[in-house]
A = this chain, B = another copy of it.
């Protein structure tokens, strides 16, 4: 049943695959180093040599199976860009087992380095860097007057997405995505980054209640 002695990348890939499969099957709390080792057809020391804690292993699996999408976004309108960007974010969170991010937060809360890594990939830090280019292009197109606004404003769209997905375990459908962009994010951006006088974009809410 042996596949021969693997090493290097091949072995690493087998481990991440095993970790990911365990994550999907039993969830973060019940994922064990033992089972990952067995599933990968290897032994625990091989895992510990690479990732000294369960959190680091899972974070590595997450980075491998739910990578950041770096491709540029340019749909021609700020609204289109935001729908695309936030939609991608929702899709990313959708692929992460619901107990995984809270589990990682819990386990890394007292380990600043890993917590920082986690944050960079799945939390706040991704937002400003991702969103500001959209605003910059919107200014170039004449949709906004400036791309200067506080980070907190920029974080709003993903804060809402994370709240619903990570904290509430909900899924966000297209209607909800539209509501977030049209009723919350776009108005805020227009308020804080200004709207040229002749621009006639609708500011009224898209959905009522």
Contact = CB atoms under 8 A, between A and B. Distances in A.
B183 A153 contact: yes
B103 A99 contact: no
Copies of the chain in the assembly? 4
A27 B108 CA distance: 11
B163 A191 contact: no
Given A150-B209, A152-B180, A183-B150, A102 B109 contact: yes
| Interface footprint category on A | 35 or more
A166 B167 contact: yes
Contacts of A153: 183-184
A60 interface: no
A149 B159 CA distance: 20
A130 to B, nearest CB: 16
Interface of A: 27-29, 98-99, 101-103, 105-107, 109-110, 115, 119, 123-124, 148-153, 155-156, 159-160, 162-164, 166-169, 176, 179-180, 183-184, 187-188, 191-192, 203, 205, 207-209
16 contacts: A28-B106, A99-B107, A102-B102, A105-B166, A123-B167, A148-B208, A149-B208, A152-B160, A152-B179, A153-B183, A159-B160, A162-B163, A162-B167, A163-B163, A184-B188, A187-B191
